[in-house]
Structure 1
Amino acid sequence: MKKTLLFSFLLFSVFSHSQEPVKIEGNAQGTTYHITYFDPKNRNLQPEIDTLLRQFDLSVSTYIPNSIISKINSNQKNVTVDKYFIACFKKAKEVWKNTNGAFDPTVYPLVNAWGFGPGKKQKIEQAKIDSILQFVGFDLIELKGNKILKKDPRVALDFNAFAQGYSVDVVAEFLNSKKIHNYIVEIGGEVYAHGKKPNGEHWKVGIEQPYDNKETENPYNVIANLENLAIATSGNYRRFFVENGVKYAHHIDPKTGYPTKNNLLSASIFSKQCIASDANATGVLVMGLEKAKQFLKLHSELQAYLIYSDENGNFQIYTTEGLNAILEKTK
């Protein structure tokens, strides 16, 4: 699954004297998770959450050979998809249409060719890219009931650009079912926060400065106060490689077959569902700044905090108006 920690949430030590938080953390989807919740019964729900995340991986992780998505990609017969796969597929189709193809999970063969997936990096030549592009396109695959139909057997899916966000929603739904109303869920940097802390404080999330950094956390650019809101960030500063002096980031443009090259460095999208934030963050980053601005004007259900580089190489910010009330500057 997605592997990058593009930002992390901030948990402060001051909590209500009447109730202590339950904090759990672990590993899932090739990354880590951190969950904090306030439960009057003080239950440890980690075993159930771990089971839930394992089931999720068995549906949509391309890193598990016997997952549903891996079976579909390898054209195994009579594969039946489950509720997790269906939710991912339907959201992907919606965002693919809305972004005019900037977000497209059929880029998986290209992701592998460039060395950003489970497959071994290939030698990149224009002829290679052109041959792969023939079977890249979300119009080449469809969902019929609980079965997947391909117009070309070489079509392969990659939900990693947004499935992690959806896993956050899945855990949030589980906590809701347990009558837990105040919590924050973070998986691999994607976050959903519900309610508030018992002392009335909002949950706080930091958005990083987009410095190239594969290993450690960057300083925060801004802090967001969350309540019943999801945030996901896509950026070009975590997963990349440099070859012959050229930087190649892991976001692939489905139209060109090459890693995106524009001045947009980081796209943080806020919405009511983390799956929507995650998928649209990827689409926005691929679009680039100017197209992203036009896209966001048409989609008021999304709020965005975009960090881009100006002609002098300095960081600049574009923010949609709906975020003004929840953002605070770092000290």
Structure 2
Amino acid sequence: MAGGEGGRDLPSTPTWAVALVCAVIVLVSVAMEHGLHKLGHWFQTRQKKAMREALEKIKAELMLMGFISLLLAVGQTPISKICIPAKAGSVMLPCKPKGGDKSGGGDGHRRLLWYPGEDHRRFLAGAGAGDDYCVKKGKVSLISTNGVHQLHIFIFVLAVFHVVYSVATMALARLKMRRWKKWEQETNSLEYQFATDPSRFRFTNQTSFVKRHLGLPSTPGVRWIVAFFRQFFASVTKVDYLTMRQGFINAHLSPNAKFDFQKYIKRSLEDDFKVVVGISLPLWFVAIFILFIDIRGLGTLIWISFIPLVRRLKLS
């Protein structure tokens, strides 16, 4: 096998294989760029300024991820040649070392990547140079070549998942808001205008909206559980929508004003999406801080998930 234990190098690879892989990568990239351009043009023709700005943020995130990938690819070997003492390499580990090797590979026989059926030989494409370089000095790599590769994948998945999660939330919200369009059309009927006539006095505790939100769902601690399960079913009912609509009109407009509350909420959702979809610098530092404190035995990923709940309880 030419190219050593890491596999064949590029000069030993058939040209048709290299050309095929490059063609697929180029076609996928061009198709993605063309699709984003068409989507931006569609937002512009529909006069959706907030959605177009959100799309520009997604493009910026893709460019940032490409630059990060380039830095990790170029710096993979130099980073692995940064040597640290074996004692420092065994401090603040996120997982228990495999095979009882607490030094992180100080004896030069670490199992970086094993493949069954291959006589247990170590395979790591483009790897091992920096690791062996530090082993000869009696030290360990700051991050091994395999570790840099896994970090590369982790950062990429983290950013992509954030964008996908934001887009999925936006899509599900728009899907649920389609029901509200029918309720908004009902507000133009004479029956609704008669029912919401300000001259018809009604006690607050007699309304359907108040009856729905009083009782057990209003108990502190219980209402968060109720709200969690209610979001999967009828989080906003017809009476909730009409009550919020009437309250908004009474607070900001004249009582008998003609106003499309559903369209207003849709625009507000798009404005919020424009802010949420971007990965800001503080968010990157939060991710780095979580990586720093993710030490074995602390249960970081468990207790840190309760921070938003505690913060919400204090605000309420």
**Range of TM-score over shorter length:** under 0.3
If you compute each CA radius of gyration, which structure gives the higher value, 1 or 2?
A: 2
Name the structure with the higher strand share: 1
Higher relative contact order (CA 8 A, sep 6+): 2
TM-score of the pair, normalised by structure 1: 0.25
More helix, by proportion:
2
**TM-score, normalised via structure 2 length:** 0.26
